[in-house]
Amino acid sequence: MSNSAPPAIGGACGQGLCGGKCKEILREGVWGNNPISIQILGVCSALAVTNKLENSIVMGVALIFVCAMSNLLVSLLRNATPRRIRMIAEVAIIATFVIVFDLFLKAFYFEMSKSLGPYVGLIITNCIVMGRAEAYALRNPPMMAVVDGVANGLGYAAVLVIIGFFRELIGSGKLLDIVVLSDNWYIPNQMMILAPGAFLALGFLIALANYIKPRQEEETK
Amino acid sequence: MRLLLGILDRVRPIFEDGGKLRPMKPVFDATENFFYAPSARTQNAPHIRDPLDLKRFMSMVIIGLAPCVVAAFYFFGLRMLAMIVVSYAAGGAVEMLFAVVRKEEINEGFLVTGLIFPLILPPGLPLWIVAVGVAFGVLVGKEIFGGTGRNPFNPALVGRCFLVLGYPGVMSATYIVPGSGPLGRLTEYVGVEAMTRATPLAEAKQGVVAPIADLFWGNVTGSAGETAAIAIIVGGVFLVLTRVANWRTVAGIIGSFTVLGLVLHYARPDDFAPVGWHLLAGGLLFGAFFMATDPVTSPITNGGKWAYAVIIGAATLLIRNLTGYVEGMMFAILLGNIAAPVLDDVAVRLRLRRLQHEG
């Protein structure tokens, strides 16, 4: 999870468009300033949907999509948006993309849509999306805003996938609904798929990130 | 004995600064302390002379637990020995790991946690679950908060709570029927292949009420150390008399439980069993004497202790009778543990305000 900026996206913006800052933005979003493990934002959905790896992946994809698209649009309109109504404008833009994704799930992956319940719709209120629009997209050109949105979405998705992996594996002995630990000998720990398991897993993850990060920074100094 | 001392003195340099096994020094210290008083002397002031140190304190609790341990062996057999050994080994490993990493001493507090933990578990529980539970309890209940003295929760109860939530099926299906006769199960090693049975509190929900005499002498199933009320009372009174367990906590829990139980029994006799029966059933007495009185996780002020005890007593009765859980003592004590710092704070503020008014 540390410094692996996916090269595909890094190549897309090349030189010029985002001033070569691409890698740095990605690094910040995924690790250095990870929205969940460092800023402790968006925790509600990270706790609620991570009882299965599949749900975590879909939720992560949803956030990457919404965050990138809303950042793009907010950034494009940043000079046309009057300052006093910018918040309402941001919410309207975010809500649009959330609804797009929600309808997409309902149309093509109905089962998944049902199992995620209200949490896709609740991305509208996710502090990460709103936070990035407000803190980044409003002041930066569109390309960089998109990269920032993707980076933060990736950071969120990475945490969800890690938590979902361990909760599904320990809590039901499966991964992506395929039995990994056979119930001939493995007794699943049911707490991991309930709420306390989510808090524990997230707590351990944040503790681990906080243990590694200062050491890393000391090394680079 | 001199032989042992000789060995300890001979290997000491390996563990001192510059020795090969320096990181393992906590293990050496713990071994030495276990057999002898430590050889190190305090170098600097202040020197406090007090007969009661942590080690003595914990030894007292172990002595207080002895009757319960004997009762557990009698009723549930030699399997208890295996559970105690596993509990000490798995919990001790976590404890040792943290001591070595932190370069601290191994704390005597674990001697009590490791012994109490098997006593609050179903006597037929698979040994690997015992190991997982105690490791989790020591890690999450104690070490990540900074070790003995800094833990907000009772580590043994954190471990048990983890098992109750994680393996509810296994937990409720491993209550072995107790042995009887002059030797009980003292010569047997039985696991779940022996007959199991629901605990008295679980049966009471189906309308089967165990006789009070059985609850008193321990001839019922339940967590290993909690069944024989007489053994708990003997050991518990010893702890209260030596002031290792604070009498306010014990009296507050039993008192509030009794008063609330009486009121509710007369108001709704169908829903609430008689209070005398409830007092002896389940883990109430064991929790009140041995777990709620833990000096680290209970309040320091006397006012705080009373409030804490009332919370535990009342919560236990309500959880037992009004929720899907049959036993509430564990949750009640953990709730009390959460409230403890706040209760202390309130007690101190009230005291300050009164002093200001007087002064």
What are the strands, taking DSSP E only, across chain A?
174-175, 178-179
Interface probe for B, chosen from A191, A200, A204, A206 (most Cβ of B below 10 Å), is: A191
Summary mean pLDDT of chain B: 84
Q: Which residues of A touch B129 (CB under 8 A)?
A: 187
Res. B263: pLDDT tops 60:
yes
CA–CA dist B288, B329 (Å, integer): 9
Res. A21: pLDDT tops 80:
no
Whether A190 sits inside 8 A of B168 (CB atoms) is yes
A139-143, A184-188, B284-288, B329-333, range with the lowest pLDDT: A184-188
Residue B358 within a domain: no
CB nearest to A196's CB, from B144, B165, B168: B165
Nearest alpha carbon to residue A121 among A108, A136, A104: A104
Q: How deeply is B1 buried, as exposed, middle or buried, from its count of CB atoms within 10 A (0-12, 13-18, 19+)?
A: exposed
Domain match, B10 and B148 both: no
Residue B231 within a domain: yes
Whether B166 sits inside 8 A of A189 (CB atoms) is yes
Domain match, B19 and B128 both: no
Most confident of A117-131, A135-149, B125-139: B125-139
Domain match, B282 and B335 both: yes
Q: What is the pLDDT of residues B158-179, one digit of tens each?
A: 999 999 998 888 888 888 888 8
Res. B332: pLDDT tops 60:
yes
Flag whether residue B167 sits within 8 Å of chain A, measured between CB atoms: yes
CA–CA dist B209, B205 (Å, integer): 9
Sign of CA dihedral A49, A50, A52, A56: positive
Domain match, B206 and B240 both: yes
Residue B63 within a domain: yes
Asked if B305 and B256 touch (Cβ cutoff 8 Å), the reply is no
Domain match, B257 and B345 both: yes
In this prediction the pTM is 0.82
Q: Give the confidence band of A11 by pLDDT, cuts at 50, 70, 90.
A: very low
| Cross-strand partners of B150 | none
Taking residue B3's Cβ as centre, other Cβ atoms within 10 Å add up to 7
Task: CATH number of the domain at B156, please.
Answer: 1.10.3430
Interface probe for A, chosen from B127, B167, B192 (most Cβ of A below 10 Å), is: B167
- Per-residue pLDDT averaged across B86-90, rounded? 92
- Per-residue pLDDT averaged across A14-40, rounded? 72
Q: Give the confidence band of B309 by pLDDT, cuts at 50, 70, 90.
A: very high
Cβ-based contacts under 8 A for chains A and B: 17
CB nearest to A194's CB, from B129, B140, B165: B165
Chain B residue at shortest CA distance from A192: B166
Residue B237 within a domain: yes
Residue B177 within a domain: yes
CA–CA dist B86, A12 (Å, integer): 57
**Burial track A99-120 (b if 16+ CB lie within 10 A, e otherwise):** eebbeebeeeeeebbeebeebb
Res. B351: pLDDT tops 70:
yes
Domain of residue B155 covers 57-192+201-350
| Cross-strand partners of A174 | A179
Interface probe for B, chosen from A166, A169, A190 (most Cβ of B below 10 Å), is: A190
Q: Give the confidence band of A193 by pLDDT, cuts at 50, 70, 90.
A: confident
Rg of chain A over all Cα atoms, to the nearest angstrom: 18
The first and second tokens of residue B154, run together, are: 């009772």
- Sorted by where each begins, the domain ranges of chain A are 41-160
* ipTM associated with this complex: 0.76
Domain match, B237 and B156 both: yes
What is the percent of chain A where pLDDT is above 90?
Answer: 11
Q: Could you give the C-alpha distances from A123 to A88, A196, B194, B207, B258, in angstroms and in order?
A: 16, 22, 53, 49, 50
Asked if B298 and B246 touch (Cβ cutoff 8 Å), the reply is yes
